[in-house]
Amino acid sequence: MSLAAIIFDVDGTLADTERDGHRPAFNAAFAEAGLAWHWDEQLYGELLAVTGGKERIRHYATLHDPGFLLDPDSESRTARLHAAKTRHFLALLESGGIPLRPGVEQLIGESRDQGVRLAIATTTTPENVTTLLRVNLGPEAEGWFEVIGAGDIVPAKKPAPDIYHWVLRRLALPAGSCLAIEDSANGLAASLGAAIPTLITTNAYTADQDFGGALAVIPDLGKTDLARLRQLHLTTYGQHK
């Protein structure tokens, strides 16, 4: 089965957004709300075990500020906190402070030139995706991705495979003809849960995670290209039909 489409994860894959993007944005939202919460780099690395910004806020509160959850208004407070965090994150993106990771722009370009379809499967808020693409690749870039599956569009977030099933249905492609590119064990569990061959590009927060079942684990896309990814995909999935 030849490679028909590449499905990119966003956070930690298209760009290193977590430590210097989402984390300071969360802290800015907490300070603005008068909450004495602060997520340093190490704590944030632990909190990344839970995907989804709202879910991560509630996970933190469960561990460190249960009173926050006892508040009958905690659901809407969480939503307001997350909306404020997204506003700060978007401002960081617009400042150009979060570039794409090595090799990402090149692979997108090669894929477009060679007719490999492009899609995105992410846990993050849709506007974060479109802004990251526009700021780093220009106003046309969003249209290069046939399907963008993001945020709360599916009931269960990674490591559940829902977002990948959602993307595959819209691509109308068999899982084996796609290649997912992920950065985390949660992401890999989601893509493999949808039977999609997966390449891992690690980052500072995920380098030590277990990537059993991945096609390959590389530090970034800087030293690879579409030809190599086709070969990798073929060697593993070429023998299937």
- Interacting residue ranges for ligand XBP, rule: CB under 6 A: 9-12, 18, 22, 51-53, 122-125, 128, 158, 187
Q: How far is the CB of 147 from Mg ion (least distance, A)?
A: 17
State the catalytic residue, choosing from 11, 16, 162, 183: 11
Pick from 3, 9, 111, 190 the residue near Mg ion by CB under 5 A. Answer: 9
CA 231 – CA 223 distance, rounded (Å): 15
List the structure tokens of 123.
């846990």
Q: How far is the CB of 184 from Mg ion (least distance, A)?
A: 5
For Mg ion, the closer CB: 12 or 161: 12
* Binding range to Mg ion, per CB under 5 A, among 43-51, 64-72, 172-180, 181-189: 181-189
Q: How far is the CB of 234 from ligand XBP (least distance, A)?
A: 26
Measure CA 233 to chain center.
Answer: 21
List the Cα angle 29/30/36 in 5-degree steps: 165
Catalytic residue status for 16: no
Q: Which does 124 bind (CB under 5 to 8 A by kind): ligand XBP, Mg ion, none?
A: ligand XBP
Q: Which does 16 bind (CB under 5 to 8 A by kind): Mg ion, ligand XBP, none?
A: none
Nearest residue (beta carbon) to ligand XBP? 53
Question: Cβ distance 117 to 4 under 8 Å?
Answer: yes
Pick from 6, 7, 8, 11 the residue near Mg ion by CB under 5 A. Answer: 11
Q: How far is the CB of 227 from ligand XBP (least distance, A)?
A: 26
For Mg ion, the closer CB: 177 or 203: 203
Nearest residue (beta carbon) to Mg ion? 12
Residue 18 touches Mg ion, criterion: CB under 5 A: no
Pick from 3, 7, 8, 12 the residue near Mg ion by CB under 5 A. Answer: 12
Q: How far is the CB of 54 from ligand XBP (least distance, A)?
A: 7
Catalytic residue status for 71: no
CA 52 – CA 56 distance, rounded (Å): 6
Question: Cβ distance 5 to 173 under 8 Å?
Answer: yes
Residues marked active site are found at 9, 11
